[in-house]
Amino acid sequence: MLRCGAVAGDCDCDLIVIGSGPAGEKGAAQAAYFGKRVVVVEKEAQPGGAAVHTGTLPSKTLRETALFLSGHRQREMYGVSVALDPALAVPRLLSRKEVVRVEEVARIRWNLERHGVELVQGAARLVDPHTVEFGGRRIRGEVILVATGSEPFRPPHIPFDDPAVDDSDSILEIESLPRSLLVMGAGVIGCEYASMFAALGVAVTLVEPRAELLGFLDTDMSEALRRALVAMGVDVRLNDSAQAVRRDGERILTRLASGGELASQRLLFAAGRQGATAGLGLEELGVEIDRRRFVVVDDEFRTAVPSIRAAGDVVGFPALASTSMEQARVAVCRAFGFSYKQEVSDLQPYGIYTIPEVSAVGLSEEDARARGADVVVGRSSYRLNTRGKICGDQDGMVKLVFERASRRLCGAHVIGDRATELVHIGQAVIALGGTVETLIEMVFNHPTLAECYKYAAYDALGRWSV
């Protein structure tokens, strides 16, 4: 066991990381790469955090398994009618999730070990700005990185004690497919689960207080996603919310603000998350916590206490695994003065694993125009793309936003098969200052969905004088 130092200058290690999710793992590895002594404290028996056990990885694995078991893609390609046995669906979904989870846990352990990072188990609490207590033991570190992630927000008017009422964690523990599911909240998580269960033949109702789905998306993408969900049979209800939820026999009854009630076999409340900061002792040390329990940090991920930094979902938006990793790397580099990774790139892609996938990077058309930019937009449909015809995706689309004067690409938006992969082409072009001519001059493999970039650029070029 590490020795307990007496003062801040006599620390057991250079960095103590609390939490082993994407931010914790990458922050720890970054510091160890540059020769720092690092200890990661994880409260659960296995590393990985919510990303591995209850969030990113499980939901995405379930999505792919749902697509396979339901034959969703094949229905459109071949007109095949696939009968899904509900009794077998959930065991197969959960078994595949478990296989991937075990493999990812092994990868994280391997990564920490090869960097010489010590992983210890225990519920951490900060005793002072340099000391962490867990399991009756204490260790001291020059720097402490809080990377405890987030957890589902549970408002008091939702009866989570009812076994048929779930949050985004407990929904992964269902034993059988429900006949009907009401999803409260059409954020990223709500939309993902709504589409997944709809693909499995569940009657899904999606209720959202706002006037559109995922308002941070380009309007064309948001509307295309809404249409896709409706086409899958999802009853999308915007501008509405739950006022009360109660059990009525075998049903869950939800009274809506718009009037009337909706009956469902299960209810998933997916309207937001909060920082997993309870019990850490941060506030007692002077670390600022906001109303959703997220840690308040500056652009270097410093808290109000100089030796304590925080990164990842625990600091709030955008709360993506991809950005969490980068935030932690930057936090560590800043903390120890490494001349490496001094800031998180402003060019961050969003990946939404609905059915169909949606992904975006850079400015939406609306954001660009709101900033006063004169832009030219080009679109290309999967329907007109050879690979789109082959894979059976007739509704996918690539939308590109160019600055008129400079001709540079400033936004790329994709909906459809492989959207979260395709978006990186746009990301690279934007990062390198590429123009509409860059995409037109590029040679793409044929047939590929990536060709949509070229034809979206041609579409924009044809609108340049409009």
CA distance 374 to 372: 7
Comparing 352 with 391, the larger pLDDT belongs to 352
Question: Which domains are seen in the chain, by residue range?
Answer: 13-151+274-336 (3.50.50.60), 165-271 (3.50.50.60), 356-462 (3.30.390.30)
- Residue 117 identity (one-letter amino acid): V
- Helix (H/G/I), strand (E/B), else coil: 171: helix
Residue 77 confidence (pLDDT): 54
User: Do β-strands 251-256 and 242-248 pair in parallel, antiparallel, or remain unpaired?
Assistant: antiparallel
- What phi and psi, each to the nearest 5 degrees, are found at residue 146? -90, 115
Average pLDDT, the chain: 91
* Positive/negative CA dihedral, 60, 154, 221, 356: positive
Query: pLDDT category, 1, cuts 50, 70, 90?
Result: very low
Query: What pLDDT does 2 receive?
Result: 41
Q: Edge to edge, what strands does the sheet with 350-352 contain?
A: 350-352, 358-362, 409-415, 397-403, 375-381
Query: Both ends of the chain: CA-CA distance in Å?
Result: 70
Residue 79, pLDDT above cutoff 60? no
Higher pLDDT, 90 or 457: 457
Give residue 103's identity as a one-letter amino acid code. E
Q: Would you state the pLDDT for residue 35?
A: 96
- What pLDDT, on a 0 to 100 scale, did the predictor assign at position 30? 97
Q: What pLDDT shows up at residue 353?
A: 93
Q: What is the pLDDT of residues 413-465, one digit of tens each?
A: 999 999 999 999 999 999 999 999 999 999 999 999 999 999 999 999 999 87
- pLDDT score, position 59: 82
- Mean pLDDT value of segment 1-26: 74
Half-sphere exposure of 389 (CA within 13 A, CB side): 6
pTM reported for the whole predicted model: 0.90
Of residues 9 and 375, more confidence is placed in: 375
Q: Residue 53: what pLDDT?
A: 86
List the Cα angle 30/32/36 in 5-degree steps. Answer: 120
**What does the alpha-carbon distance between residue 195 and residue 435 come to, in Å, rounded to a whole number?**
35
**Given pLDDT bands bounded at 50, 70 and 90, which one contains residue 175?**
confident
> H helices within 258-392, ranges in order?
321-336, 365-370, 386-391
- What is the pLDDT at residue 93? 67
Burial status of residue 136 (CB atoms within 10 A of its CB: 0-12, 13-18, 19 or more): exposed
Confidence of residue 284 (pLDDT cuts 50, 70, 90): very high
Confidence band of 73 (pLDDT split at 50, 70, 90)? low
Name which residue leads in pLDDT, 66 or 270: 270
pLDDT at position 149: 96
C-beta of residue 159 within 8 angstroms of C-beta of residue 148: no
Q: What are 116-164's pLDDT values in tens digits?
A: 999 999 999 999 999 999 988 999 999 999 999 999 999 988 999 999 9
pLDDT at 95: 73
Long-range contacts of 255-261 (CB under 8 A, 24+ apart): 256/207, 257/209
Mean pLDDT of all residues in 187-215? 93
Cα 114 to Cα 116: distance, rounded to the nearest angstrom = 5
Confidence label for 76 from pLDDT (cuts 50, 70 and 90):
low
**What pLDDT was estimated at residue 5?**
40
For residues 368-384, give the mean pLDDT: 96
Q: How confident is the model at residue 90 (pLDDT cuts 50, 70, 90)?
A: low
pLDDT at 376 over 80: yes
The per-residue pLDDT for 65 is: 75
Q: Per-residue pLDDT for 83 more than 60? A: no
Q: Token match 């020059």: residue?
A: 142
Structural Rg of the chain based on CA atoms: 24
What percent of the chain is predicted at pLDDT more than 70?
92
